[in-house]
Structure 1
Amino acid sequence: MSLHRTSVVAVALSDDDSRGFSASKDGTIMHWDVSSGKSDKYKWPSDDVLKSHGMKIREPRSKKHSRETLALAVSSDGRYLATGGVDRHVHIWDVRTREHLQAFTGHRHTVSSLCFRHGTSELYSGSFDRSVKVWNVEDKAFMQDSFGHHAEIISIDALRKERVLTVGRDRILLLTKVPEQSRSVYRAPASSLESCCFISDDEYLSGSDNGTVALWGMLRKKPVFLLKNLHTDIADGMTANGILENGDDHSYVNSCSASSWVSSVAVCRGSDLAASGAGNGFVHLLGVETGKTAIRPLFKLPLSGFVNSLAIAKSGKFLIAGVGQETRFGRWGCLKSAQNGVAIHPIRLS
């Protein structure tokens, strides 16, 4: 589904699997009907309206740059959409009317990740300023700050409990119990973590920049299982020399290059089905065997481009992927053959 002109960096699904949401680097935010594909675009309000919401308008070098969106999340009741990006603000939208409701100020750097606590209007935002902030969208109020990372936060997730899972450029996976402000610190073995998600309250999944997907348990400080080199294979028709086509000195491909970064992981809630995406031409479907503490590769879905975001339908019948020619943060690689957009893949479970 090609609704975006630039790389799609974030996707989400409504709780009933009927609507999808997507955001791209140029600030385009869409929601669309999963079955029909009919789409609606969110219109950014004028600077005057944003100022009335308490937002400080910084004049960037390029006006469009300030709208660059890098994260989105939809509340479980389907009423609110939250977006965040380069302008350092968390924007709240009404899903029914597509109107801009609020701009939360407070982060001192790019808002990189967002998630709602399930069953509530509580929103968690992660930022390059190394903080997680908690907001109440219903009351339009800031609730509290949480610190613990020593570098930029890249990915965030939450379930029903007041716990936040985050990964950052400091190679740390952090589980924060929000009310108590207590933290469990998990250190990744020799790689930078790019993505994370809850499997259950006690188990988590992460993706690394070396093509590894890791399974973590609450009681161990290192991964209980590592699925190594999952995204270091390259799809047919993609040559090692041609996969990254940017013109700078970093345009080499090996297992450590941008094509193998596991930039997205997702879980079908309440099941053992998971998925991971990178830039090597495949989305991997995985079986998480929690009793045996193992991850089993199930199937490879061919998909050209950097898979910057993934979401699996709660029914388990399909997944959506946000795909782009560029990586989510920056331009570490460029796949000119890829199409910017949202891919919907049906899943048949045996």
Structure 2
Amino acid sequence: MPAYTDKSTGFLRGHKMPVTCVAAPGMGDASEQPHDKDFSAAAAANAFSLDRHIYTGGKDCCILRWDLQEEKKSVFRGRRNDFNCGGHFRPVLGLCVAPDESFFCSGGADQLLRIWDYRSSTTKCVAALRGHSGAICCVKLNNWPSAVAGGEPGPVCTQTQSYSSAGDVEVLTCGADKSIKLWNLTVRACLNSYYGHTAPINFMDVMLPNKPLTAGDDCTVRSWKLVQDTHLVFSPQLTPVDACCYLTPSLFACGTQGGVISLCSVLQKKPIAAVQQLPPLSKMRGAHADSSSSRRGITAMAALRRSEVLFAGSEGGAVQAWRAKRRKKTKERKESGGNLAGGSTAASLELVSEVRVAGVVTSLCLTPSEHTLAAAVAKENRLGRWTVDKEARNGIALFGLVRR
């Protein structure tokens, strides 16, 4: 049965300016490992130890590491326009965290990919890598070697380790310069750049190594095969795409500024399902609120991997849980078996639940146990567009997930 968002379990405040991204150790990228999704009493007891830390970045140029058990936070400082501060001097827009938390990476409007180790310093990053000519909008782990996952020290902070492509940690970044870059963190260098988008790339998701999914201002979603240096362009949307996520290696979803959520298969270019999110009338204010559509844009997405459940956050403050449902077989689809990833299969999206927060949902992330959904809430969009909600609070809303 599908999971859905229950009532809020907490709200964390620490950033002085809008929160732009939230990440959990080893979640939302190719380092994520499949595990037992049994929501039993034993799993619930273990969830408290798994879901200890989450990381957030904001427009105050700082990164916060939250300890959910002790209700404390560590601040990795940055300072706006201070190029020698040791951290970001422009807004932080993307984060990824190693599964063992031996390091985490951040990217932002200062065009630098920064590597951090909380055990060494909170005021200065381990390394700052240059390569992008525009703001870095998203950072994802491309691989996580099994040797490191087994408990050995991460290779990022080892200065004398020899180059080994099989054991290196790689990171993917994308940004406003319309490119995807592949980084090797062992040698601290950019391995390759990939081009295809004709406008800034807003978001990226990775489920399998070297196969990212990107969404951009050119109104397209693209599925990449970096080894072959090829990619597929899916049917253009009517408005720019701000969010995307993989459900399975062959099924993904995307959300646009116009409020459309599309479910797509890698086997066909047209969406197999699409829904239009209506503006939240309860949140609109002013004489012209009824004709405004800017409050319904989809700004963040996340999914339960290898399932049919996805989460979407909007500029109007809605956090929704959707379930992809297979339509009944027709005579034309009997031979294909009715699989959601099938080329001729139609599907539908069912709204399972919805909760409201005051502000713009700029980022969504599931914790490792998948018992909690963390939503970054801000007064404005993560890329600084559209409206500003002066009554909202900048912070992280936590929601419990219940499975029935």
Establish whether residue 18 from structure 1 lines up as the match of residue 43 from structure 2.
Answer: no
C-alpha distance in 2, partners of 1:124/1:265?
A: 18
Structure 1 254/136 Cα, relative in aligned 2: closer, same or farther at 3 Å?
Answer: farther
Distance across 1 between alignment mates of 2:13 and 2:348: 36
Contact 1:3 1:341 in 2 (8 A): yes
2:324–2:350 contact (8 Å) kept in structure 1: yes
Superposition RMSD on alpha carbons, in Å?
A: 2.2
TM-score (norm 2): 0.75
How far apart are 1:5 and its partner, in Å? 1.4
Which secondary structure does the structure 1 equivalent of 2:316 belong to? coil
The SS at the match of 1:187 is: coil
* Unmatched runs of 5 consecutive residues or more in structure 1: 56-63, 243-250
SS in 2 for 1:100: coil
After TM superposition, give the deviation of residue 96 of structure 1 in Å. Answer: 3.6
Q: Tell me, in whole angstroms, the C-alpha distance in 2 between the residues paired with 1:177 and 1:253.
A: 43
Q: Deviations over 1:43-88 (max 9, x none)?
A: 34984586xxxx9xxxxxxxx9x33111111123322211111111
Matched, 1:70 2:93: yes
Q: Distance in 2 between matches of 1:31 and 1:226?
A: 36
Is 1:232–2:276 an aligned residue pair? no
Q: Name which of 21, 29, 38 aligns with 2:63.
A: 29
> How many percent identity over aligned positions?
24
Change (3 A) 1:280 1:49: closer
Corresponding residue number in structure 2 for 1:58: none
1:241 aligns with 2:286: yes
Contact 1:268-1:314 at 8 Å conserved across structures? no
Matches within 5 A, 1:111-130: 111-120=136-145, 121-130=169-178
Cα separation, partners in 2 of 1:254 and 1:210, compared to 1, 3 Å:
farther
SS in 1 for 2:144: coil
1:7 aligns with 2:18: yes
1:308 positional shift: 0.3
* Counterpart pick for 2:364 among 303, 310, 317: 310
* Separation of aligned partners in 1, 2:56 and 2:293: 28
Q: Which has the higher contact order (CA 8 A, sep 6+)?
A: 2
Contact 1:207 1:214 in 2 (8 A): yes
Match of 1:297 among 351, 354, 357: 351
Contact residue 273 and residue 286 of structure 1 kept, 8 A: yes
Cα distance in 1 for residues equivalent to 2:291 and 2:196: 32
Compared with structure 1, are the counterparts of its residues 101 and 287 closer, same or farther at alpha carbon in structure 2 (3 Å cutoff)? same
The one of 180, 205, 212 aligned to 2:228 = 180
Query: Against the structure 1 CA distance between its residues 341 and 200, is the aligned structure 2 distance closer, same or farther, given a 3 Å change threshold?
Result: same
> 1:73 corresponds to which letter in structure 2?
C
Larger-gyration structure (1/2): 2
8 A contact 2:258–2:293 mirrored in 1: yes
**Moved beyond 6 Å, runs of 4+:** none
In 2 relative to 1, CA 79–289 (structure 1 residues): closer, same or farther, beyond 3 Å? farther
Partner of residue 213, structure 2: 165
Matching of residue 335 in structure 1 with residue 383 in structure 2 = no
Match of 1:145 in 2: 193
The alpha-carbon deviation at position 110 of structure 1 amounts to 0.9
1:255, CA displacement in angstroms? 5.5
